[in-house]
Chain A
Amino acid sequence: MAAIELDDVRKGFGDVQALRGVDLEVEEGEVFGFLGPNGAGKSTTINIVLDFVRPDEGSARVLGHDAREESVAVRERTGVLPEGFDLYDRLTAREHLQFAIDSKDADDDPYPLLERVGLEDAVDRKAGGFSTGMRQRLALAMALVGDPDLLILDEPSSGLDPNGARELRELVEEEAADGTTVFFSSHILGQVEAVCDRVGIIREGELVAVDTIEGLRENVAGGETLIVEVDSVPDDVSHRLKSMEGIDSVTVDGTTLRVGCDDDAKMTVISELEEMGATVSDFSTEEAPLEDLFAAYTEGEQ
């Protein structure tokens, strides 16, 4: 059974079509990264999964329940860190946890959960005085109440410092090792790379890719960059190379050429350079930076 199953989900807000037919299946037990630039439809998708907003068309099933009709049953087994949430400024960290425990009818003790997110020193402090990072941690602790089968984290690392982001990653890994399905959104690919089994990329309300990180790399032209050292750079090298098939970009830095190309085109680049009279002294390849990979999916023509 899929943990999250979206079937042709469409949603518009006034003139804006936020989701244009999203089909998505998140397997039970996997860590799924949901990526896209701001405004691409990530939060709308999550809001539909949680029944905060209702789709115009299509259906959503979560943990085997209809997201609309059986939302309470869904949320009984789901822990959520919503995006753009607020806490109750007059309630302490412990009271927030107690509220989540009462609502979920769980028998957790607030303290260990607060300890897990690093708030053990703020247990009886009111949330009104919390920093953004502490607020994020407290909401995360609330999400962990009742040992959920599914964790939905909407932009979880916003407001966290690098240390907090690392702790979050560890926490996600612990939960995943425990069999929990984790679905989290981000607009930065680098954050999801380390922990995700698969990622889905959404762009302008449409899912443009669902794959592993390696799978994504393979599918993107210019997935690799060839770095070539030459003794002297021939005239017009950039223009000549770019006119060849499988080569996307050429940048010249002194006697170093960086050529973005398909796997097959690498040897062609070397032989073409030699033909032009340059002597290749060294060459290596490097993987495309994740940002480029992300940009390939989310910018320009598909």
Chain B
Amino acid sequence: MSVRAVAEKDFRDAVRSRLLIVLTALFALFAAGASYVVTNIQPPQQAQFTGEVTTVLLIVGLVSATAVFIPIVAIAASYRSLSGERQSGSLKLLLSLPNSRADVVAGKFIGRSGVVTIALLIGFAIGLVFTSAFADAFSAAEYLAFVGVSLLFAFVFVAIAVGVSAFTSSTSRAAYGAFGLFVVFQFLWSILVQGLIYVLNGFSFEGLEQGDTLIELSQVLQILSPTTAYQQGTLWTVRRLAENQEAQSAEAFYLEPWFGFVTMALWIILPLAVGYLRFEGSDL
């Protein structure tokens, strides 16, 4: 199958890049450092009460840091995936062979996801050593669940970076586009949502009450950010495993904590689809 040929080729090629080694090393350092900070310097509030740093609490502390670091690794590993080949001319070789443009986009996503998985697994393994040393009650299952959800989150940003890379023919524009989207999701999303509500409410926040359509809209939009989805998904999974919190039933389906997974799946499909459609329609 052609997707597989492209993915294998891409994996072999990208896994040997020096950038990947640097990213893996940075992530390992980050994982170790963050576990140390969360356990010893700035433990979560709850741990300050109980005096015990459990794996769950550690993960709760880690997740806001991984939410920033993982997208950077994923984007750095993927933003050149298509635009780089287009710029150098190797895409001509790739498309001279019987690979459809859909094969190429899908193969690139799979190949780069594989590469990012390797980098994160190495980083998380090193983090694991530190975490098990620092956490008072270590639970492997919870940590593994955290790693799993984090990988899914990484795939979201691989999809975004590959999608942007398919969309444009220049690597610099691919970089600006992918990192720009990251900044929007990470730092600007809730401001933008607030702004939208402000405008829709006639340029004021007055008169908004719980239960209003606009409030609901703002909740939906907030939850649609992949970063929020990741945090939501991680907490939901880890807490379920820890079984110290009953899942509360939410008022609307999009407020259910599992909805984070639906959002992440959407953010994998959407950028790939948009990037592919543009790539399919363009002259090389």
Task: Tell which of A54, A76, A85 touches B93, judged by Cβ atoms closer than 8 Å.
Answer: A85
Partner of A103 from the list B5, B85, B89, B284 (CB cut-off 8 Å) is B5
Q: For residues 1 through 59 of chain B, which have their beta carbon under 8 Å from a beta carbon of chain A?
A: 2, 4-6, 8-9, 12-13, 16-17
Chain A residue numbers with a CB within 8 Å of B139 are none
Q: Closest approach, in angstroms, between the C-beta of B17 and any C-beta of chain A?
A: 7
The docked-state distance in angstroms from the alpha carbon of A76 to that of B99 is 9
Interface residues of A in 50-103 (CB under 8 A from B): 50-54, 71-73, 75-76, 78, 80, 82-88, 90-91, 95, 99-100, 102-103
Task: Check if A144 is an interface residue, CB within 8 A of chain B.
Answer: no
- Shortest Cβ distance from B284 into A: residue: A52
User: When the two chains form their complex, are residues B93 and A50 in contact, meaning their CB atoms are under 8 A apart?
Assistant: no
Chain B residues in 8 Å Cβ range of A90: 12-13, 16-17
Contacting residues, chain A, for B13 (C-beta < 8 A): 88, 90-91
Task: Give the distance in Å from the alpha carbon of A105 to the alpha carbon of B95 in the complex.
Answer: 15
A53 to B284, CA, bound (A): 6
Interface size on A, residues (CB 8 A): 32
A99 touches B9 (CB 8 A): yes
Chain B residue with the shortest CB-CB distance to A145: B97
Report Cα–Cα, A50/B283, bound state, in Å. 11
Q: How far is the CA of A50 from the CA of B98 in the complex (A)?
A: 10
Taking the complex as formed, is A192 at the interface, i.e. its CB lies under 8 A from any CB of chain B? no
Q: Which residue in B6, B99, B283 is a CB contact (below 8 Å) of A52?
A: B283
A104 at the interface (CB under 8 A from B): yes
What residues of chain A lie closer than 8 Å to B5, measured between beta carbons?
A: 99, 102-103
Bound together, the chains give a CA A284 to CA B100 distance in angstroms of 58
- B175 CB, min distance to chain A CBs, angstroms: 19
Sample of 18 A–B contacts (CB below 8 Å): A52-B283, A53-B284, A71-B100, A72-B2, A73-B98, A75-B96, A75-B97, A85-B89, A86-B85, A87-B90, A90-B12, A91-B9, A91-B12, A91-B13, A102-B8, A104-B98, A105-B2, A142-B93
> Once the chains bind, are A86 and B98 in contact (CB under 8 Å)?
no
**Hey, which chain B residues are within 8 Å of A76, CB to CB?**
98
Min Cβ gap B83→A in Å is 13
Q: How far is the CB of A17 from chain B (nearest CB, A)?
A: 15
Question: Which residues in A have their C-beta under 8 angstroms from that of B88?
Answer: 86
| Interface status of A210 (Cβ within 8 A of chain B) | no
Q: How far is the CB of B108 from chain A (nearest CB, A)?
A: 13
Per-residue A-contact encoding for B81-111, CB less than 8 Å = 1, 0 else: 0000100111011011111100000000000
* Nearest CB in chain B to that of A88: its residue: B13
- Count of chain B residues with a beta carbon within 8 Å of a chain A beta carbon: 24
In the complex, chain A residues whose CB is within 8 Å of the CB of B95: 50-52, 75
Contact A86 B93 (CB under 8 A): yes
Residue of A nearest to B2 (CB): A103
Cα–Cα, bound, A246→B8 (Å)? 65
CA distance A104 to B5 in the complex (A): 9
> Which residues from B are CB-within-8-Å of A82?
89, 92-93, 96
A102 nearest CB neighbor, chain B only: B5
A51–B85 Cα distance when bound, in Å, is 17
The docked-state distance in angstroms from the alpha carbon of A139 to that of B93 is 8
Which residues of B are found within 8 Å of A259, using beta-carbon distances? none
CB distance from A136 to the nearest CB of B (A): 12
Per DSSP, chain B at the interface is helix
Are A54 and B283 in touch, CB under 8 angstroms? Answer: yes
Q: Is A47 an interface residue (CB 8 A)?
A: yes
Contacting residue for A53 out of B2, B98, B283, CB 8 A: B283
Give Cα A88 to B90, complex, Å. Answer: 7
Instruction: Report chain B residues within 8 Å CB of A247.
Output: none
A27 and B32 CA atoms in complex are apart in Å by 66
Whether a CB of chain B sits under 8 angstroms from the CB of A202 is no
* Complex CA–CA separation, A84 to B16 (angstroms): 24
- CB A54 to nearest CB in B, in angstroms, measures 6
Contact A75-B92, Cβ < 8 Å, known A53-B284, A99-B5, A103-B6: no
Q: In the complex, which residue of chain A has the Cβ closest to the Cβ of B88?
A: A86
List, in ascending order, chain A residues with CB within 8 A of B85's CB: 86
**What is the distance, in angstroms, from A1's C-beta to the closest C-beta of chain B?**
20
In the complex, A4 has a CB within 8 A of chain B: no
Question: Pick the contact of A100 from B4, B12, B97, B284 — CB < 8 Å?
Answer: B97
Query: CB-CB < 8 A to A71: which residues of B?
Result: 100
Q: Which residue of B lies closest to A13 (CB)?
A: B283
A53 partner residues in chain B, CB cutoff 8 A: 283-284
CA distance A23 to B4 in the complex (A): 38
Judge whether A31 is part of the interface by a CB distance below 8 angstroms: no
Measured between beta carbons, the chain B residues less than 8 angstroms from A72 are 2, 98-100
Instruction: For A105, list chain B residues within 8 Å (CB).
Output: 2, 98
A143 at the interface (CB under 8 A from B): yes
- In the assembled complex, how far is the CB of residue B12 from the closest CB belonging to chain A, in whole angstroms? 6
Q: Which residue of A lies closest to B15 (CB)?
A: A90
Q: How far is the CB of A74 from chain B (nearest CB, A)?
A: 8
A48 nearest in chain B by CB position: B283
Distance between Cα atoms of A139 and B97 in the complex (Å)? 11
A90 to chain B: closest CB distance in Å?
4
What's the minimum C-beta distance from B115 to chain A, rounded to whole angstroms?
12
| A142 CA to B98 CA, complexed, in Å | 12
Please tell me if the beta carbons of B4 and A80 are within 8 angstroms of each other in the complex.
Answer: no
Q: Taking the nearest CB of chain B, how far is it from the CB of A277, in angstroms?
A: 64
Known: A91-B9, A103-B5. A52 touches B92 (CB 8 A): yes
The contact of B92 among A54, A85, A99, by CB within 8 Å, is A85
